[in-house]
């Protein structure tokens, strides 16, 4: 089907104030935000597309793709896991890649001005940073402008 690099963006909406948030790279590396404001924090990264194991499926690889082959996700770390010292928070959230469709991938690979974006809520019910498997906001993964 496809192979190569797929640009994606993860945007954390309404993150808790004073809590560091970064995307996990590999086992213990961190990716800082590409843009940040009081309302949102965005991370631009690339996942590799490998040869799919079954027709009509996608295979996500690379330093940001975590978890088993059938259930890949990206970790968004907060507090101590994001390198922040002197914090009570030590969390990470899973952003599932499984909702990405072949049609979305095709659009993004054909037009370099596009990126796949997922938006997640930054604050959990307890008022701290998001954690565990988080639902995507809106309609899930969406094709959007890269800028």
pLDDT, residue 64, reads: 98
pLDDT, residue 2, reads: 65
Indicate left, alpha or beta for 86 from its phi (over 0: left) and psi (-120 to 50: alpha). left
pLDDT, residue 57, reads: 84
Per the structure block, which two tokens stand in for 126?
A: 């307890």
d(CA 105, CA 38): 30
- Spell out the per-residue pLDDT of the chain, length 147, in tens: 567 899 999 999 999 999 999 999 999 999 999 999 999 999 999 999 998 878 878 999 999 999 998 899 999 999 999 999 999 999 999 999 999 999 999 999 999 999 999 999 999 999 999 999 999 999 999 999 998
Q: How many domains does the chain have?
A: 1
Expressed as residue numbers, the domain containing 34 is: 4-145
């Amino acid at each position: 089907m496809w192979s190569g690099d797929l640009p994606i963006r993860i945007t954390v909406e309404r993150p808790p104030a004073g809590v560091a948030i970064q995307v996990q790279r590999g086992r213990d590396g961190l990716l800082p935000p590409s843009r940040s404001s009081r309302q949102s924090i965005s991370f631009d990264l690339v996942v590799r597309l490998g040869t799919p194991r079954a027709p009509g499926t996608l295979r996500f690889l690379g330093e940001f793709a975590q978890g088993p082959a059938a259930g890949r996700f990206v970790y968004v770390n907060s507090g101590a896991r994001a390198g922040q010292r002197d914090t009570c928070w030590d969390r990470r959230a899973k952003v599932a890649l499984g909702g990405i469709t072949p049609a979305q991938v095709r659009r993004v690979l054909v037009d370099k001005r596009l990126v796949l974006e997922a938006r997640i809520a930054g604050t959990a019910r307890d008022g701290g940073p998001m954690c565990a498997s988080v639902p995507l906001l809106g309609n899930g993964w969406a094709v959007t402008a890269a800028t």
